[in-house]
């Protein structure tokens, strides 16, 4: 009965644990057990574990990996590689890191207060933080004057070209999209017929930004605009007013941030108390000596 209860507990603790102590691979006195596979699987993301467990070939590959790591580590021990002081320090660090992470899990698992009311107060007290700013959707034609783009011209030549483009556009003989494909030298936006996608105020260079902000009706076209990249003609595709998000839309993210901040602050307080209780102090002179020694070694 006790054995059955223990087995139930083990199965509840891990979705990948089977019966502890089952040998899955053996050779040359080197054994790989199911617990070794468990340890490897549990070190990865939870969603990836179920995929790996359901993939027989992947499981066999992991077993081979565990075996080879163990076999090579035994060879390293026999050759004396494990005896160096530096290696022992690395080994100790890995062990301590694993224990550190396990202890953090214990600390973080302690009760955390509810943050629904605090989230509501934060939302009401910072309306601008939960408002999507005014956004624009625009296209442009660029005649480049900068050598940052493959094709570019002297300023005088670029200005003459963009004037020609503007004249064709004003005549109505060609559409804006047609002229983009014929003339624009912005290679990034060419495949989207000059579209710059959605952007907010202040995300473009100042002359461009101001020209877009001055347009209000979808389909409106700017005059010739000069920037550090060259000469542009801009077409406003759409303009979106600021939109305040509802509390329900942002509640989960606010609560998650408050919760994470609480956990991090609790960690920091625990760390500070631990340092204080242990009267831990840093020997600045020794640190300086270490720094100088390291710099001398790397400088040689």
Residues 142 and 111 in one domain: no
Q: How many domains does the chain have?
A: 3
Question: 174: which residues sit within 8 A by CB, 6+ positions away?
Answer: 168, 182
Residues 44 and 61 in one domain: yes
Average pLDDT over residues 56-68: 92
pLDDT in tens, 69-93: 999 999 999 999 989 999 999 999 9
* 8 Å CB contact between 146 and 229: yes
pLDDT at 150: 87
Residues 126 and 138 in one domain: no
Percentage of the chain beyond pLDDT 90 is 79
Confidence band for 204, pLDDT divided at 50, 70 and 90: very high
CATH of the domain at 200: 3.10.50.40
Full domain range(s) for residue 274: 84-131+254-300
Does the structure show a pLDDT above 50 at 2?
A: no
Residues 56 and 138 in one domain: no
* 8 Å CB contact between 230 and 142: yes
Q: How many CB atoms lie within 10 A of CB 40?
A: 17
Residue among 204, 240, 198, 200 at smallest CA distance from 225:
204
Residue among 98, 32, 103 at smallest CA distance from 70:
32
Three-class secondary structure of residue 119 per DSSP: helix
Instruction: Report the distance separating Cα 62 and Cα 41, nearest Å.
Output: 9
pLDDT at 300: 54
Average pLDDT over residues 141-161: 94
pLDDT at 20: 54
pLDDT at 54: 86
Does the structure show a pLDDT above 70 at 1?
A: no
246 occurs within a structural domain: no
233 occurs within a structural domain: yes
Instruction: Choose the weakest-confidence range: 4-13, 87-96, 159-168, 169-178.
Output: 4-13
Instruction: Report the distance separating Cα 156 and Cα 278, nearest Å.
Output: 73
Residue among 210, 212, 183 at smallest CA distance from 196:
212
Residues 153 and 193 in one domain: yes
Does the structure show a pLDDT above 70 at 11?
A: no
pLDDT at 189: 92
Considering 41, 57, 79, which residue would you say is the last residue of a domain? 79
pLDDT at 148: 86
Residues 138 and 126 in one domain: no
Average pLDDT over residues 200-208: 96
* Cα angle for residues 63, 65, 67 (degrees, 5° grid): 70
Instruction: Choose the weakest-confidence range: 8-12, 231-235, 249-253, 267-271.
Output: 8-12
User: Helix, strand, coil proportions of the chain in percent (round to 5)?
Assistant: 60, 15, 25
Residues 127 and 138 in one domain: no
pLDDT in tens, 250-264: 999 999 999 999 999
pLDDT in tens, 179-202: 999 999 999 999 899 999 999 999
């Amino acid at each position: 009965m006790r054995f059955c209860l223990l087995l139930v507990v083990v199965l509840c603790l891990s979705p990948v644990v089977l019966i502890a102590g089952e040998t899955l691979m053996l050779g040359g006195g080197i054994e790989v057990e199911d617990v070794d596979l468990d340890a490897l699987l549990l070190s990865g993301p939870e969603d990836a574990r179920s995929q790996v467990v359901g993939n027989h070939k992947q499981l066999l590959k992991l077993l081979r990996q565990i075996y080879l790591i163990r076999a090579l580590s035994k060879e390293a021990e026999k050759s004396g590689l494990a005896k160096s002081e530096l290696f022992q320090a690395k080994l100790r660090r890995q062990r301590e890191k694993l224990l550190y992470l396990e202890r953090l899990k214990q600390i973080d698992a302690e009760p955390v207060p509810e943050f629904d009311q605090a989230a509501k107060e934060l939302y009401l007290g910072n309306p601008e933080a939960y408002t999507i700013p005014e956004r624009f959707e625009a296209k442009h034609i660029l005649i480049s004057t900068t050598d940052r783009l493959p094709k570019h011209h002297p300023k005088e030549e670029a200005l003459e070209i963009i004037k020609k483009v503007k004249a064709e556009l004003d005549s109505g003989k060609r559409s804006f999209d047609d002229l983009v494909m014929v003339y624009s030298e912005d290679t990034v936006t060419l495949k989207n017929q000059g579209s710059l996608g959605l952007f907010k105020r202040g995300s473009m260079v100042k002359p461009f930004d101001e020209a877009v902000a001055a347009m209000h009706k979808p389909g409106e076209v700017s005059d010739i605009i000069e920037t550090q990249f060259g000469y542009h003609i801009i077409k406003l595709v759409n303009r979106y007013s600021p939109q305040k998000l509802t509390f329900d839309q942002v509640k989960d993210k606010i609560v998650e941030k408050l919760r994470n901040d609480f956990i991090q602050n609790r960690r920091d307080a625990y760390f500070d108390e631990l340092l204080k209780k242990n009267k831990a102090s840093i020997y600045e002179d020794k640190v300086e000596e270490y720094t100088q020694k390291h710099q001398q070694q790397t400088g040689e």
